[in-house]
Amino acid sequence: MPILKRTSLLRLSLSSIRFISSSSSVYSFGDSSNGALGLSSPLLDAYEPTKIPNLPVAASHYHSLAVTTDSEVWAWGRNVEGQLGRGANSPSRETWGQPTRVEGLGHVTAQTAFASGVVSSAIGDDGSLWVWGRSKRGQLGLGKGVIEAIKPSKVEALSDHKIVKVSFGWGHALALTRDGKLFGWGYCKDGRLGEMGQALCQPSENVPSADWSLDKSSMLEIAARHVELKIKEEENMPIIWEPQFVEEFSSLRVSDIACGLDHSLFISCKNTLLSCGDNTYSQLGRNTEGSKILPVNINSQPLSLSTGLGHCLSICQTRSNSSTEDSTRVFSWGWNQSSQLGRRGPEEIPAIIESLEDESIVSVSAGRVHSLALTSKGDLWAWGSGRNGRLGLGSSMDEEEPALVESLEGLRVLQAVSGFDHNLILVAD
């Protein structure tokens, strides 16, 4: 097994591990039902960080990607949609948890990798973007009607640009270029791609309206009509099939992006946090003008972003009233059903996680309903839902506030990324 150079922990809106050395190891913990932990017992959840055997460094939503020092991409975990690059459902489920090199990228010097639950991607050192997997919502970005790529395929629509980061949501995708330009594609309902494709979201005359009157139909007939309506809606999904420039940022450079389930976050180079898309769980961090791309009032300088299913995290530079020096703070907002915000108080606006104020946080990562934070000293903090051991604290208990992962005492964590329900961490040997 080669020494891994970079690793991506993949979930609905993907994050990536961007650097590792040869003197490091990868540990995983949480839900292992799809083999995403890469452990020898793929059906057993890991309630504490466990070293992945024969894998110096490693991680996903339900699958994981890693980039080696030889710039090869390796994958393991769920493969129903062919996101491992081995062909859908081939080989058998029993082998999903075995890290295997992705074929078809031999001519690509891979630098990093990102993914959604059904699509994987790699970025070459020349800024090229390569994708594989299956998505009927246009996440591949390979052209109209293309819903599957068995092997890695180049996104030709972005050939004239050097891509540095990709983020995937549930059906939509964003790509950031080296010079701060932003492109989007995929499922564009609810304004998750801003104004792009909103004409496609107008009700189609071919889609029947639902009539739920109990006076006219039996419950069985109503259920059948509901299924028919849903099928028609699927046939008329508003989709942007190839990457298009996000016009709202024509006069602004973008420094970071993050896609949630059905919303998107951006940081402009003018140190402004912006959001768009669905706001059911207050994940936009504002209550102004619906789903449009608009600023979020955070009263601090945002540095980086991470977003899970419906909650968001941001590391911001701020200055306390009692100090003239700037420091970093973690802000959270959005869905908080499992305490994934790590704080109490209003959920609809960004607020500081006070229990982390004395820590120097260098990165954060949001899973489905849990969160991670890594300090400059290499300590790992976790909070939110503890189901399947996804907090690494040895139990399934939820944590309302950040808790130190004490089983890592004596080890220095270099990077930490949460998947949908599991996590991977890079530890210095």
Q: Is 358 helix (H, G, I), strand (E, B) or coil?
A: coil
Q: What is the mean pLDDT of the chain?
A: 82
Total-model pTM: 0.83
Q: How far apart are CA 83 and CA 95, in angstroms?
A: 14
233 domain-assigned: no
Assign 233 to helix, strand or coil. Answer: helix
Q: Is residue 40 part of a domain?
A: yes
50 within some domain: yes
Residue type, position 175, single letter: A
The tens digit of pLDDT for each residue in 12-71 reads 223 334 334 456 676 777 776 666 666 666 557 777 777 665 443 333 457 878 777 778
Q: Does residue 205 fall inside a structural domain?
A: no
- Express each pLDDT in 170-218 by its tens digit: 899 999 999 999 999 999 998 999 998 877 766 544 444 444 444 545 6
Per-residue pLDDT tens digits for 108-139: 999 888 888 889 999 999 999 999 999 999 99
Confidence of residue 79 (pLDDT cuts 50, 70, 90): confident
CB count in 10 Å sphere of residue 362 = 18
Helix (H, G, I), strand (E, B) or coil at 334: strand
Mean pLDDT value across residues 345-359: 95
Specify whether the CB–CB gap between 268 and 176 falls below 8 A.
no
Q: Which DSSP letter does residue 247 get?
A: G
* Number of other CB atoms surrounding residue 142 within 10 Å: 22
In a domain, 35, yes or no: yes
In which domain, by residue range, is 142 found? 4-197+238-428
CATH number of 170's domain: 2.130.10.30
User: Is 209 contained in some domain?
Assistant: no
CA angle 180, 182, 187 (to 5 degrees): 160
User: What distances in angstroms separate CA 1 from CA 4, 42, 188, 198, 331, one per listed residue?
Assistant: 9, 19, 40, 47, 39
What residues contact 340, with CB distance under 8 A and at least 6 apart? 308, 311, 332, 366, 367, 369, 370, 371, 383, 384, 385
Mode of pairing for the β-strands spanning 4-8 and 239-245: unpaired
The verdict on residue 346 lying in a domain is yes
Domain contains 210: no
Domain count, the chain: 1
pLDDT value at residue 417: 85
